[in-house]
């Protein structure tokens, strides 16, 4: 009789935590390549303030249209400039190619880090938590595993070197083999690559939350980065951002960038119709 990973893990650890992580990571990488597309709202806050964009995934690249700055809707002139910028990009194959290449490189770096997780860390059971809005599926049980660096792990490149100085915990939906949350902190200075040479300081923090956004599709709902360090050993580096994605809606799988821009324009126009009414409410 088949027994789910969740059932085994809830009884006794006859399935090793590292094996559970490995199965989950394999599934995450498989799901990331399934081609599902979404439109969603993205709010990113940095030391310079916050920007809210309406985003849509297309087969060419991600399209994003600015709709608010520091929580306030942008005006008609800025909205028109944003639309013009996207329309120009839609007509520029080279610009789209560069954007797509950058997105692919970013995705590859993330996948390398995720792929390394089963071997880079030692995992220990640390109880359970219930899923909540933005974290897994609300009400479902999530397994909590503490992690610390595996001293026998040899990073294959500078990209994975950051893992040698990180510890924290991970929440896993063992029934679906999905990661609901990763919370990591650097307990020592670490070197890193990412196309440049440098190091990150002890105390840096990394948080990623993932959620079921409907029909079994999971997407990143929250990402927080807080790191300081040096680039090329002399230029100061500060990474501080908090990004929240919400209001996910399915988008056509074969959407072109130009069609994505049209979709964004339509939704932003609908938002703009309500803006004057909201603006008059004090």
Residues of the chain with pLDDT under 70: 1-14, 193-197, 233, 275-282
Give the C-alpha separation, 224 to 238, whole Å: 13
Q: How far apart are the first and last CA of the chain?
A: 62
Predicted TM-score (pTM) of the model is 0.86
pLDDT at res. 72: 94
| Residue 158 and residue 165 in contact, taking contact as beta carbons nearer than 8 Å | no
93-120 and 17-32 helices cross at what angle (nearest 10)? Answer: 170
CA distances from 82 to 41, 75, 188, 255, 261 (A): 16, 11, 42, 20, 10
pLDDT at res. 196: 56
Backbone torsions φ then ψ of 59, nearest 5 degrees: -70, -15
pLDDT at res. 282: 38
Residue with tokens 């909590």: 144
Residue with tokens 């893990």: 9
DSSP one-letter code for 23: H
């Amino acid at each position: 009789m088949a027994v789910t990973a969740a059932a085994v893990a809830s009884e006794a650890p006859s399935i090793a935590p590292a094996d559970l992580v490995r199965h989950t990571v394999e599934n995450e990488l498989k799901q990331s390549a399934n081609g599902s597309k979404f439109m969603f709202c993205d709010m990113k806050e940095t030391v310079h303030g916050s920007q809210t964009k309406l985003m849509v995934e297309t087969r060419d690249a991600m399209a994003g249209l600015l709709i608010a700055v520091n929580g306030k809707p942008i005006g008609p002139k800025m909205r028109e400039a944003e639309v013009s910028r996207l329309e120009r990009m839609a007509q520029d194959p080279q610009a789209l190619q560069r954007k797509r290449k950058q997105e692919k490189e970013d995705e590859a770096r993330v996948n390398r880090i995720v792929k390394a997780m089963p071997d880079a860390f030692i995992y220990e059971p640390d109880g359970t938590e219930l899923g909540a809005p933005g974290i897994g599926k609300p009400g479902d049980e999530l397994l909590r595993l503490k992690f610390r660096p595996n001293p026998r792990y040899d990073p294959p490149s500078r990209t994975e070197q950051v893992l040698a100085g990180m510890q924290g915990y991970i929440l896993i939906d063992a029934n679906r083999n999905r990661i609901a949350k990763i919370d990591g902190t650097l307990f020592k200075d670490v070197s890193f690559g990412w196309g440049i040479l440098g190091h990150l300081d002890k105390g840096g923090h990394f948080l990623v939350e993932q959620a079921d956004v409907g029909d079994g599709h999971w997407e990143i709902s929250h990402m927080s980065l807080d790191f300081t360090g040096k680039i090329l050993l002399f230029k100061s580096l500060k990474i501080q951002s908090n990004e929240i994605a919400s209001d996910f809606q399915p988008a056509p799988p074969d959407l072109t960038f130009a069609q994505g821009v049209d979709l964004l324009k339509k939704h932003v126009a609908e938002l703009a119709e309500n803006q004057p009414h909201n603006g008059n409410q004090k």
